[in-house]
Amino acid sequence: MKTLSALVLGFVLMASPALAAPATGEPIKIGEMMPYTNGPSFAVPFREGWQIALEQINKEGGVHGRPVEIVSRDDQADPAVAVRIAEELVSREKVVMLIGAGFDNVGLAVGNYVNRYHVPLLKQWAGSCGPIEDPQNTYWFNTTPCYGPYARIFAREAAKLPYKKWAMIGPNYEFGHAMNESFKAELQRLRPDVVFVSERYPAVSKINAAAEIRAIDRTKPDAIFSTIFSGDLASYLLHAQKVGFLQDKYCISGTNIGSKTSIKELGTAYPAGWLTEGVPQDTNGLPVDPFVKLYESKYEQRPDLMAIYGYQILLVAVDSLRKAKSLNGEDIRNALENAKIDGPFGPVQMKNKQLYPGFWLGHTDNQNGKGSMVNLKWHSPEDLFPEAFQTTIAQ
């Protein structure tokens, strides 16, 4: 992990006019799409992050002296809309690559498009591991690991605990099933004595919290792995508080409820004691500090995880453009396959068409109705995803 002084020095050098003249000439275009109308709470911070990166990149000379331009669109979380946008960005705007396409259904549709027309895609978030590991997929890259490796992080943490009877609850679509099944398989591999006594999959945005809690409670679990989120999670937590359901149960959230967005969204229902991913809200020399300062100076607030991801995704995209032999799709793709940057989380490396960042794990807290994260601990990519740094997916 980098020291604060080294990171600050890196940003100063990067922005120094003595080392690089501002970019001029015809811009190199990158297409971006996210669900700005259907998911503004994470799409907008994502945009704020890449906007900061864009300013830095063009101040330091862009790509071989040419400025980078982002052509941004709202994919409305709709696969058909997203494909039409991709076609427009590629054919009319002449973008050389695409970034974003966050939702799973959108990413799958756009991923099929880019493989067909040889336009690299850096997809924000990841979906199930099948598509990204498919040998026919050559132009779709993820900026976070697919569900399997991510779920295994939490399973390894769960294996250290004394609990033997686990329940799971997740949204009834691919994400929920894939995350929960990966968690279950890895935990039972590490701890054959563990049993799963309940597995619940309520429909998205239609959870009957009372019914779900009654069903889980009948099985008397010691611990619960949850991948429900947003309004469904809020309803679940509020009813759990009402009936005292979670008071004696250890909980892990496979969705990032340690983000500022989730803390604000869940309000007074925010749980205490859940293991999840988060971001420190004070600097204290942590490696994200220089980006935090840049973000605060522009937006007058601390960044959420999505802002950090937005910043990082553009650094990776531009790194590949600078290293590519040319701006055709194949050369950019070849450069992406070996991308490695010093991102706001420290070093980030592309392996098997996926970026493996480090991040913080900690526990949720709620003091007088105010949510926060406590006991956050930084984990390097090698610690979090050992299998990615030891094996290679056959292509």
Query: How would residue 1 be classed by pLDDT, with cut points 50, 70 and 90?
Result: very low
Per-residue confidence (pLDDT) for residue 4, from 0 to 100: 33
How far is residue 126's CA from residue 150's CA, in Å, rounded to a whole number? 10
pLDDT at 11: 36
- pLDDT at position 282, please? 62
Strand stretches in the chain, DSSP E: 28-34, 68-74, 97-100, 121-123, 140-142, 165-169, 195-200, 223-226, 250-253, 275-278, 340-343, 346-351, 354-356, 359-367, 370-379
What separation in angstroms does the CA of 364 have from each of 182, 233, 255?
A: 23, 14, 12
pLDDT in tens, 17-46: 344 678 788 999 999 999 999 888 889 999
CB of 39 closer than 8 Å to CB of 281? no
Decide if pLDDT at 79 tops 50: yes
250-267: pLDDT as tens digits: 999 999 899 888 898 899
Quote the percentage of the chain above a pLDDT of 90: 63
Q: What does the pLDDT read at residue 305?
A: 83
Query: Alpha-carbon distance 207 to 224, whole Å?
Result: 17
Q: What is the pLDDT of residues 108-160, one digit of tens each?
A: 999 999 999 999 999 998 877 888 888 889 999 998 888 888 899 999 999 99
Report the chain's mean pLDDT, rounded to a whole number.
88
DSSP result, 206-258: ---HHHHHHHHHHT--SEEEE---HHHHHHHHHHHHHHTTTTT-EEEESS-TB
- Judged against a pLDDT cut of 60, whether residue 269 lies above it is answered with yes
Provide the token pair at 9. 């020095």
For the chain, which domains are there? 4-146+287-356 (3.40.50.2300), 148-282+358-389 (3.40.50.2300)
Q: Structure tokens of 316?
A: 């990776």
Is pLDDT of 249 > 90? yes
